[in-house]
Amino acid sequence: MGYVDVVGVRHTLPDGRELFADVSFRVGEGAKIALVGPNGAGKTTLLRMIAGDLPVRTGTISRSGGLGVMRQFIGMIGDETTLQDLAPPPVRTAGKALAEAEAALHAAEARGKFSTAARKAQLAYAEALAAWGEVGGYDAEVLFDTVATIVLDLPWEQSRSRLVRTLSGGQQKRFALELLLRGTDEVLLLDEPDNFLDVPGKRWLERRLRESTKSVLYVSHDRELLSQTADRVVAVEGGSAWVHPGGFDSWHAARMARHDRLEEQRRRWDEEHQKLRELVATLKQKATYNDGMASRYQAAQTRLRKFEEAGPPPLPPKEQDIRMRLTGGRTGKRVLVCEQLELEDLTFPFDLEVWYGDRVAVLGANGTGKSHFLRLLARGGTDPDPATVPLGGLSALEPVKHGGVARLGARVRPGHFSQTHDRPDLMDRTLVDVLWHGDEHRPGLDRHAAMRALNRYELAGQGDQRFGTLSGGQQARFLVLLLELSGATLLLLDEPTDNLDLASAEALEAGLRAFEGTVLAVTHDRWFARSFNRFLLFRGDGEVVETPEPVWDVD
């Protein structure tokens, strides 16, 4: 069985700021440990340090057993990663060498089956086969074939070269999770494993984690999954971490009690500090006219110095104050009209009318076409007007094959939030730079205004940081800020709460309540869906229908 030991770990950002320090915890054999905390507190960074992606310069991290890692994002737009590239590096390298040796053999034999070149190619092919077997290539093929059949209903030979980005977000996560949970690695690091999974998928993950004998450290913001699976909780907040020995259900109460204790300890420290300072001041005054008080004065000084050198106990972490000011604007009464709209190979033709002010939750299983539907609308529907469609960042999205009509109403300006944060145009730019320059659909801000806006989203500290280096939750908050500044009157949100911590998700819900416009949101978040007044269900059989309340388990 595998385990992970983290002792006294510290991490400093490239700009010199300390992200966290003195982080210590253990993931025991077979334990399921949840890593929770605000966006940007360092959860993903800590996972990357444990995985070996980032160096550990202070403290130690030790591991036992094979290590399987699932990243927060798997297949990005423009990424050429194929499913076979998800194999472990030794298997991937040996597989590539085997494919090259096989191609060279065929080429050599085509020129002469018994030539010297053919014999050399046969020997090289035999060596590549042996290396393939030594790294577990045959077992990996069996595993990948099993997973491809389960997730894609296709044999491995037909799916191995498929680009990961062509799968839905849920299919990507399910494929990666099946590989890890069925694989031989004894320790798993899972960063937001429930993101993009539909509700049945989340229930499947809860069951598989409970049943697994592997040691698992995972980051999640889904309260139901945390409640069902976590043996212990490691909270990363306030520049360090602390361990709650119970499950997630009792973590909130334990956190409040801990905050009360920290406040009381700090109050007592402040009182003792003030008493010592007053004592030193009094003895100093007395020592000026009484030589016998000099030794007591020096002793009091020493005591005060040591007290101050030890430092005060930590204060409770500051609660987040995120204020999203999604303004919107008045549009025509009919915001969207769909007439016999059909998404190729995904849905049957359907009709839909969305009115100004509607809050439409788009529900359904993974792979039913929900994200395709939002992307089509983000491009302006089936007959877009380039003058009114804010395409910022959408040019990388692949076209949506469709039939029928999806027409946006008067003064409707769509703003799109992608579930995988597909913004290659932002990856190497700092947040201040993005806000400063603006674009054709979003005015630029001076640095002072940009920092004020970032501060409302708790991103002021990341103003000079590149978008691609932010945590998933920080990226999500910044993308919502860009929507706020874009003047969008129709928000098209694809799994907006997936990477948001609780405070950020609550701020988004408050922002949407105040938004003077229309919202269509794809979601598998049972809590978030309750704030909507219409529910559009993409069924597994291709039908698209409205339901009076959220429906999660549908074939």
Q: Element (H or E) spanning 352, and its range?
A: strand 350-355
- For the record, the structure tokens of 135 come out as 């790294």
How distant, in Å, are the alpha carbons of 231, 409, 443 from that of 490? 42, 10, 18
Rounded Cα distance, 93 and 102, in Å? 14
Task: Return all residues near 179 (Cβ < 8 A) that are at least 6 apart.
Answer: 68, 86, 143, 144, 147
Question: Does 555 score more than 60 pLDDT?
Answer: no
Q: What average pLDDT does the segment 2-11 reach?
A: 95
Please, which pLDDT band fits residue 116 given cuts at 50, 70 and 90? confident
Residue 388 DSSP code: T
Q: What average pLDDT does the segment 136-151 reach?
A: 90
Q: What is the dihedral of CA 14, 17, 19, 22, to 10 degrees?
A: 110
What local confidence, expressed as pLDDT, does residue 40 receive?
Answer: 80
Rounded Cα distance, 482 and 493, in Å? 13
Looking only at the bridges linking them, the beta strands covering 58-64 and 32-36 are: unpaired
Find the range with the poorest average confidence among 148-152, 170-174, 355-359, 489-493: 170-174
Three-class SS string for 68-109? EEECCCCCCCCCCCEHHHHCCHHHHHHHHHHHHHHHHHHHHH
Please write the tens of the pLDDT for every residue from 411-466: 999 999 988 787 888 889 999 999 988 776 677 888 888 999 999 999 988 898 99
Do the Cβ atoms of 480 and 507 come closer than 8 Å?
no
Question: Does 144 score more than 70 pLDDT?
Answer: yes
Rounded Cα distance, 543 and 554, in Å? 11
Q: What average pLDDT does the segment 491-504 reach?
A: 88
How distant, in Å, are the alpha carbons of 80, 174, 202 from that of 168? 15, 10, 15
Rounded Cα distance, 324 and 553, in Å? 32
Residue 496: closest CA among 381, 348, 326, 344: 326
Residues found in the chain: 555
State the alpha helices, DSSP H only, in 112-189: 116-134, 137-152, 156-159, 169-182
CA 132 remoteness from chain centre: 34
Mean residue pLDDT across the chain: 88
Q: What average pLDDT does the segment 464-483 reach?
A: 90
Phi and psi of 124, rounded to 5°? -65, -40
Rounded Cα distance, 14 and 280, in Å? 42
Please write the tens of the pLDDT for every residue from 243-291: 999 999 999 899 999 999 999 999 999 999 999 999 999 998 888 888 7
Residue 418 DSSP code: -
Residue 152: closest CA among 75, 73, 83: 83
Taking the CB of residue 168, how many other CB atoms lie within 10 A of it? 20
What local confidence, expressed as pLDDT, does residue 75 receive?
Answer: 60
Taking the CB of residue 188, how many other CB atoms lie within 10 A of it? 26
Question: Does 193 score more than 70 pLDDT?
Answer: yes
Q: What average pLDDT does the segment 168-183 reach?
A: 88
Please write the tens of the pLDDT for every residue from 157-172: 888 888 888 887 778 8
Do the Cβ atoms of 338 and 350 come closer than 8 Å?
yes
SS3 248: helix
Rounded Cα distance, 98 and 130, in Å? 9
Please, which pLDDT band fits residue 398 given cuts at 50, 70 and 90? low
Please write the tens of the pLDDT for every residue from 294-352: 889 999 999 999 999 998 988 888 877 888 988 888 999 999 999 999 998 899 999 99
Do the Cβ atoms of 329 and 411 come closer than 8 Å?
yes
State the alpha helices, DSSP H only, in 191-244: 199-211, 223-229
CA 484 remoteness from chain centre: 21
